[in-house]
Amino acid sequence: MASRKKRLGKGLSSMIAKPVAVPVSDGGSGVEAVDKKPPPPPSPTGEGLATIPVAQVHPNPHQPRQDFDPEALKALSESIKLSGLMQPVVVRSVSTGYELVVGERRWRAAKAAGLESIPAVIRDLDDRTSAEWALVENLQREDLNPIERAEAFLGLQDDFGLTHQEIADQVGLTRSAVTNQIRLNDLDQGTRELVRAGDLTAGHGRSLLAITNIERRLKLAREAMRSGWSVRELERRVQDAAPAKQSSSKTPKSGVDVVRHQHEELARQLGEHLGTRVQIRTGRKKGAGQLVVDFYDLDQFDGLMNRLDFKPDA
């Protein structure tokens, strides 16, 4: 198995230079603009602290944070108008200019403030490292809601082939915590939005995964939101609903739901054990199906073989 990279959760400040300010005109406000010398232009090597045009900066497609508070952005924009942008963003060079790695909120506010250029730390990063830095920076600031965090973890798994353990090592969590977070991606859209908006917690969301009927799940989720149920109370309600479902469900459709739930739970447990995504697919013939175990490179494949204690013949 390839050696693990160091955790990114420590020393993010070391990749960002000391605070600098981009001078801004007072716009007749009577407030003296910051009198600081702006950073130099990009170095010949393409790395280091520089002043770059705002118009040449593009968002990170792997940015885990999707929701930006308009009022908070407005307040930051007003501050930048008065004092300049004190903390540089982190970018990497791309064919179309610069792609943000860290600091999208600052960039958005700088644009709104009318700045034509901003200070930036330019780094030579690949796609995977850029995505990891963006995730860790947001986790450190606790800016992500549970669904954004779940989607970001899933992106690292699906787009870059990281196992749950590798994600855990990077962000300073346990493997089970990462697995539980990723499970929130299995919620239906309606329930996901309640968790995304903060109407329900991640704990509520995981409890609701035991309800496989989407209509029933969403109804229970909305009732939990309106009544202000704790996670423990919701778990009790989910358990109370399960026997009723089984006793009143004698149709083939209900039987399929029960089997599907069992397969999903088995796939989840096996995926957590192996550190990768596992799927169980039923076939047309009763009792037949497929067990699909994902791997993303040969090192991970070798690791899976070791976990399964399989040694091929020489």
Tens digits of residue pLDDT in 43-68 = 444 567 888 999 999 988 887 777 77
* The pLDDT of residue 227: 93
- Give the active site residues: 104
Distance, in Å, from the CA atom of 43 to the CA atom of 187, rounded to the nearest integer, reads 47
Distance set, CA 133 to CA 11, 81, 187 (Å):
11, 28, 27
Distance, in Å, from the CA atom of 77 to the CA atom of 111, rounded to the nearest integer, reads 8
Distance, in Å, from the CA atom of 85 to the CA atom of 145, rounded to the nearest integer, reads 26
pTM for the complete prediction? 0.54
* The pLDDT of residue 192: 93
Query: Contact, 83 vs 34, CB < 8 A?
Result: yes
Q: Is the pLDDT of residue 225 over 90?
A: yes
Q: Specify the range with the lowest mean pLDDT, choosing from 15-29, 94-108, 184-198.
A: 15-29
How sure is the predictor about 26, in pLDDT bands with cuts at 50, 70 and 90?
A: very low
Half-sphere exposure of 38 (CA within 13 A, CB side): 19
Chosen CATH of 12-133 out of 3.90.1530.10, 1.25.40.10, 3.30.465.10, 3.30.70.1060: 3.90.1530.10
Q: Specify the range with the lowest mean pLDDT, choosing from 35-39, 72-76, 199-203, 208-212.
A: 35-39
Residues comprising the chain, all counted: 314
